[in-house]
Amino acid sequence: MQSVVDQMIAFILVMILGCFVGVLFDCYRTLIVIWRPGPWGTIIGDVLFWIVVTSFAYFFLLLSTWGEVRLYVFLAMTLGLLLYFKFVSKKVRCVLECVYRFVTRVLKCIVKIILVPFKIFYRIVLFPVGLVVSFGLILGRGGKKLLNMMKKVVQRMKIRRDPPDDPPPENLS
């Protein structure tokens, strides 16, 4: 049997566990808002969340109350969750969203920095090669049409420039 002091310490620890479960829930809720998974993703995420929370709470209760689950344990966890949601949850969600924005900005900057050599390589080497290949493809596909059009133009120019072989008919009257 635990003394009253031990039970008070366990009560406070389990309240802290309730607050920590609230933090985990806010983290999960923020991820759901950011990623927006479909219905199946939400179901899988919910199941994984509750497996993680239940496992953590089980081990925490095993360490803090030696596995004895009494009514005050449920009351303390509920009280911890309620106090967390009442006073701290909005601030934590705001911080989590700010951290997410900061991390995404940093990652975008890192990706841009990493891609600079590849962009330079593309502009110096691959872009001219791409132009030559594209020109070759255009000529390969439309080369026959282009040659036929050029032949027709040249023939028309010859017809207009060459004088007729037969002399014009003379006036018979």
Burial of 120 (0-12, 13-18, 19+ CB in 10 A): exposed
Specify if 72 maps to a domain.
Answer: yes
- Report which of 76, 69, 81, 71 is spatially closest to residue 12, judged by C-alpha positions: 76
- Tally the domains of the chain: 1
Is residue 74 a contact partner of residue 18, using CB atoms and an 8 Å limit? no
pLDDT tens-digit map of 77-121: 999 999 999 999 999 999 999 999 999 999 999 999 999 988 887
Residue 17 lies in a domain: yes
Residue 136 resides in a domain: no
89 contacts 22 by C-beta, under 8 angstroms: yes
* In a domain? residue 43: yes
Domain around 80: 4-87
Residue 110, in any domain of the structure: no
Q: How many CA atoms lie within 13 A of 86 on its CB side?
A: 7
Is 0.85 surpassed by the pTM of this model? no
Give CA–CA dist 25/76, Å, rounded. Answer: 17
Residue 166 falls inside a structural domain: no
Res 141: pLDDT: 63
The reply to whether 147 falls in a domain is no
pLDDT in tens, 139-164: 666 666 766 777 777 777 666 555 55
CA atoms of 92 and 161, how far apart (whole Å): 87
Which region, left, alpha or beta, applies to residue 66 given φ > 0 means left and ψ of -120 to 50 means alpha? left
